Amino acid sequence: MADPTEALIFDHGPIKVSGEFVLKDGQGRAFDLSGRDAVALCRCGHSGNKPFCDGSHKVQGFQSVTEAR
């Protein structure tokens, strides 16, 4: 049985999605994830490889702590 899908919001960083999932663009086309079962999605807006995080949040000093509620 596959791992359940999980989305983890990192403090001052990306959202890591892992488990069994399909990532689609705005037209409903699936990204080729080449078998990866985890990706980090940019939420700072500075990645040069959107929707994926490329580490730019560190250079840009992105600050965001999101607490569950």
The residues binding ligand FES (CB under 6 A) are 13-14, 42-44, 46-47, 53-57
Which residue, 28 or 67, is less far from ligand FES as judged by CB?
Answer: 67
Which residue, 21 or 55, is less far from ligand FES as judged by CB?
Answer: 55
How far is the C-alpha of 36 from the C-alpha of 30, rounded, in Å?
13
The Cβ of residue 2 has, within 10 Å, a number of other Cβ atoms equal to: 8
Q: For residue 6, what are the β-bridge partners?
A: 18
Which residue, 18 or 56, is less far from ligand FES as judged by CB?
Answer: 56
Provide the minimum distance between the beta carbon of 28 and ligand FES in the complex, in angstroms, as a whole number: 24
Q: For residue 66, which amino acid is it?
A: T
